[in-house]
Amino acid sequence: MAMMNAAVVTSFAEPPHYQRFEVPRPRSAEEALVDVLAVGLHPRVRSGAAGAHYTSTGTLPMIPGIDAVGQRPDGSRVYFVAADDVIGTMADKALAGPRRSIALPGNADVAKVAAAMNPAMSSWVALRRRVPLERGHSVLILGATGNAGAMAVQVARLLGAGHVVGAGRDPGRLQALTAVGADNIVQLTDDGDATGKALAAAAADTDIVIDYLWGKPAQQAIMALLTARADRGRALNWIQIGAVAGPAIELPSVALRSANLRLQGSGQGSVGPADYLAELPSLVDAISNGAIAVKANTMPLADVEEAWTREERPGERTVLVP
Ligand X SMILES: NC(=O)c1ccc[n+]([C@@H]2O[C@H](COP(=O)([O-])OP(=O)(O)OC[C@H]3O[C@@H](n4cnc5c(N)ncnc54)[C@H](OP(=O)(O)O)[C@@H]3O)[C@@H](O)[C@H]2O)c1
Contacts with ligand X, 186-215, as mask; x by CB under 6 A: --x-----------------------xx--
Q: Does 143 bind ligand X (CB under 6 A)?
A: yes
Backbone region of residue 143 per phi and psi (left: phi > 0; alpha: psi in -120 to 50; beta: other values): left
C-beta closer to ligand X: residue 108 or 243: 243
* The binder of ligand X chosen from 245, 255, 283, 320 (CB under 6 A): 245
Q: Does 61 bind ligand X (CB under 6 A)?
A: no
CA distances from 166 to 21, 116, 117, 153, 174 (A): 43, 19, 20, 7, 7
Q: Does 64 bind ligand X (CB under 6 A)?
A: no
**Stretch in the footprint of ligand X (CB under 6 A) among 86-94, 200-208, 241-249, 282-290:** 241-249
Contacts with ligand X, 299-318, as mask; x by CB under 6 A: ---------------x----
* The binder of ligand X chosen from 241, 255, 296, 321 (CB under 6 A): 241
Evaluated on CA atoms 248, 252, 256, 260, the torsion sign reads negative
**How many CB atoms neighbour CB 171 within 10 A?**
12
Residues in the chain: 322
d(CA 41, CA 247): 21
* The binder of ligand X chosen from 89, 101, 138, 145 (CB under 6 A): 145
**Stretch in the footprint of ligand X (CB under 6 A) among 10-18, 30-38, 41-49, 157-165:** 41-49
Contacts with ligand X, 108-137, as mask; x by CB under 6 A: ----------xx--x---------------
- By beta carbon distance, the residue nearest ligand X is 146
Concatenated DSSP letters for 103-157?
A: EPPTT--HHHHHHHHHHHHHHHHIIIIISPPPTT-EEEEETTTSHHHHHHHHHHH
C-beta closer to ligand X: residue 170 or 205: 170
The DSSP secondary-structure symbol of 52 reads -
**Stretch in the footprint of ligand X (CB under 6 A) among 42-50, 96-104, 282-290, 292-300:** 42-50
Strand (E) or helix (H) holding 180: none
